[in-house]
Amino acid sequence: MSQASLHDNITACDQCDTLHSLAASERGQRLRCAQCGCVVVNVHEQGAGRLVVASCSALFMLVFASAFPFLSFSSSGASRSVTLFDLVEVLIQQDFLVLGILISLALFVFPVVYLVSVVFLVTSFRYAILKPFFQSYFIRWIVALQPWLMLDVFLIGALVALIKMDSFSEVRFDLSFFAFCVYAVLLLKTVSLIDRRWLWRQVSLGQVPVDQVPSNQMLSDKVSFNSGQTARQLGFVGCHFCGLVLNGAERRCVRCGHSVHSRRPHSLSSTIALLVAAAVMFLPANFFPIMQTTFLGSSESSTLVGGVLLLWSLGSYPVAMVIFLASVVIPIAKILSLSWLCWQYYYPTERETRQKIRLYRITELVGRWSMIDIFVVAVLTVLVQLGELVSISPGPAALPFAATVVFTMLAAMTFDPRLLWDKTANSSYLDSAEKPYDEACH
């Protein structure tokens, strides 16, 4: 075994900086941090082959979903069918350029770049068609785009839009809608199979300079991997982008080229600034109408809360609750929870740190689901365009609300949860005899 591969058997947890040995990891197992519970490595059985199959199948279903009508509806004798490309084209033609760009990124650009990168990268592992330099760029695209993949959110938004239209029109699912559902499922499957540490280990085999990373022997002299010691305590630093453990003097990762810091610089100030921006944008997002409906020459506007009340009055209680949670509760809860976590760094309470980390994971996970209302407005705008009879267009609150969602997502990304562990005087650790590996992943 090469010295470089020995270095790749050591990594630091992203959320608490605890060092872990990957030497015992096997295919089909998941390594979970014994201190904070974060999944450090998730190695799937036959992961490379399954990634290629899932990615290629998803790309094929996208082509199929784009070739035929997506949705159709009819009202008062007039009917209309739209394709996926119409969702972008109509918005741009009606001068909703920013909203059209958001839809095109969510439906086409980000997923296609992500899937193509996965196919080329994993294929290059077997056939050596790319040099490590180019492989590293594909991994960077994969890691950077993964939080912004929202096909599942768009699909739920499209279903909500159809339920809203059901009261005054007849809606029909066309062939492309079912192909899009399969496309979304396959993309989610591809994301579930991705493990960035495994990808970087494939790229860096034999490429990491041995004089710039601590060897296994150096670490074994200082740490027992079941003791909960962190890289910072031992004078090392873990790359937050690829997971490599480096000597503390390094400022740039020798494997991925990303800048490395023991803790993300200006983490709290960046998070607080983004939260303030999100709170400022959330005010006009609720004050102004998010959607305007024209029916037989008369216009009616609806705000976020007004749309929820309308659905509730029509008896669509589950849909009203989903929209209320996604559009009102989640943005407010995310702003408050991240603000409280920043407060905990300066004035920590006696509450267990693992509970704070669990709150952080929840806020990071649910943040993108607030985009449901934006997708609902986009689908209705494109589908309901029947001239003077009935038409729907986005209101002035659409862009502020989209900005709120983006700012809260960025705030969660800039927050460094390792700071919470640094402020905990007596962290609670799991029993050292506890096995950090979960059951086999299938």
pLDDT of 326 higher than 90:
no
Average pLDDT for 312-337: 85
Note the pLDDT of residue 352.
79
The full DSSP string for 266-330 is THHHHHHHHHHHHHHHHHHHHHS-SEEEEETTEEEEE-HHHHHHHHHHTT-HHHHHHHHIIIIIH
pLDDT of 242 higher than 70:
yes
The upper half-sphere exposure of residue 297, i.e. CA atoms within 13 Å in the direction of its Cβ, equals 0
Question: Cα-flanking dihedrals φ and ψ of residue 192, to 5°?
Answer: -65, -25
Q: Which residues contact 192 (CB under 8 A, 6 or more apart)?
A: none
Q: Which residues contact 150 (CB under 8 A, 6 or more apart)?
A: 106, 368, 371, 375
Q: Quickly count: other Cβ atoms within 10 Å of residue 387's Cβ.
A: 8
Average pLDDT for 156-181: 80
Cα 318 to the center of its chain, rounded Å: 25
Which residues on neighbouring strands pair with residue 20, listed in sequence order? 11
Residues listed for the chain = 442
Structure tokens at 144: 């950077």
Query: Which amino acid is located at 311 in the chain?
Result: L
Could you give all domains of the chain from N- to C-terminal order, each with its CATH number?
Answer: 264-424 (1.20.140)
46 conformational bin, left if phi > 0, alpha if psi -120 to 50, beta if neither:
left
Question: Could you give the CA distance from residue 191 to residue 189 in angstroms, rounded to a whole number?
Answer: 5
Provide the pLDDT confidence category of residue 202 given band limits of 50, 70 and 90: confident
Helix, coil or strand: residue 71:
strand
The two beta strands, 29-32 and 19-21, are unpaired
Question: Could you give the CA distance from residue 371 to residue 160 in angstroms, rounded to a whole number?
Answer: 12
Q: What confidence tens digit (pLDDT) does each residue in 53-73 have?
A: 999 999 999 999 988 888 877
Provide the pLDDT confidence category of residue 132 given band limits of 50, 70 and 90: confident
Question: Could you give the CA distance from residue 122 to residue 48 in angstroms, rounded to a whole number?
Answer: 6
- CA-to-CA dists, residue 438 to 17, 172, 250, 340, 355, angstroms: 20, 44, 33, 31, 21
- CA-to-CA dists, residue 404 to 280, 282, 366, angstroms: 8, 6, 14
Provide the pLDDT confidence category of residue 134 given band limits of 50, 70 and 90: confident
Average pLDDT for 201-209: 60
Question: Could you give the CA distance from residue 361 to residue 413 in angstroms, rounded to a whole number?
Answer: 11
pTM equals: 0.84
For residues 415 and 340, is the Cβ–Cβ distance under 8 A?
no
Task: Please list, residue by residue across 240-271, b when 16 or more beta carbons sit within 10 angstroms of its beta carbon and e when fewer do.
Answer: bbbbbbbeeebeebbbbeeebebebeebbebb
Question: Could you give the CA distance from residue 395 to residue 402 in angstroms, rounded to a whole number?
Answer: 12
Largest CA distance in the chain: 79
Q: What confidence tens digit (pLDDT) does each residue in 31-56 have?
A: 888 778 888 888 777 777 889 999 99
Whether the CA torsion 237, 240, 242, 243 is positive or negative: it is positive
Helix, coil or strand: residue 395:
coil
Task: Check residue 61 and report its DSSP letter.
Answer: H
**H-helix or E-strand spanning residue 374:** helix 372-383
Q: What confidence tens digit (pLDDT) does each residue in 7-18 have?
A: 557 788 888 888
Q: Which residues contact 230 (CB under 8 A, 6 or more apart)?
A: 12, 16, 17, 18, 19, 421
Structure tokens at 333: 């809860």
